[in-house]
Amino acid sequence: MSPNEAIQHPLAALKNLEQYWSKIKQPEPTVYKVGTHVRTRVDKATFTKGHRGTFSNEVYKITHVFPPANDYHSHRYALEGIRSRVFTYKDIMETKDSVTIVQKKKKPLDRLQKQAQKELREMEVTAPLPTQLRSEKTRPNVKGIRPKGTFLHVEILQQK
């Protein structure tokens, strides 16, 4: 429709715009109900590998559903164990399990354990030196010749 036609036929122009905006507007996903069990999204670090959103193993129950404030916002959800934050549908994922999956977390090392690890790493590893060199075992004892493995492999004459 040209601008001149829109001026001459304003109702047709409005109908055209409504049709245009109805195609663009995407419907919001299903609204979760109170009592639904959900998992929360875990924020990844900047350089963490992977492209999919990861969700925590803790399962929470929705306690309250806040209606959208206007057309541009979606429903918000309050969870049972978290008081300081309200979640949107992008931040939570519905689960059928009502029990939190418990994983043992690695306990952080205390100051003494860290110090002991550092000392063990810095310790020199020493093994007792052999009493006889390998070359002395295989060769007969010849005076004036250094055994193999030294930085000089030349004959040294003994001076009297």
Q: Tell me the pLDDT tens digit for each residue of 79-126.
A: 988 888 899 988 999 998 887 665 566 788 899 999 988 888 887 766
List Cα–Cα distances, 70 to 36, 75, 87, 95, in angstroms.
24, 10, 16, 28
User: How high is the pLDDT of residue 132?
Assistant: 66
**137, exposed or middle or buried, with CB in 10 Å at 0-12, 13-18, 19+?**
exposed
Give the per-residue pLDDT at 133. Answer: 63
Share of the chain above pLDDT 90, in %: 17
Stated length of the chain: 160
How much is the pLDDT for 98? 80
Question: What is the pLDDT at residue 49?
Answer: 73
Placement of tokens 């309050």 in the chain = 78
Q: Where in the chain is the domain with CATH 2.30.30?
A: 31-43+51-102
Q: Check: CB of residue 143 under 8 Å from CB of residue 128.
A: no
Class of domain 31-43+51-102: mainly beta
Element (H, E) at 13: helix 10-24
Average pLDDT of the residues in 3-22: 82
**Distant-in-sequence, close-in-space partners of 62: CB < 8 Å, separation ≥ 6:** 32, 33, 34, 35, 36, 38, 77, 78, 79, 80
* Higher per-residue pLDDT: 28 or 40: 40
pLDDT band at 69 (very low <50, low <70, confident <90, very high): confident
Q: Given pLDDT bands bounded at 50, 70 and 90, which one contains residue 145?
A: low
**Averaged over 58-62, what is the pLDDT?**
89
CA dihedral 77, 79, 97, 56 (to 10 degrees): 90
Q: Is the pLDDT of residue 144 over 60?
A: no
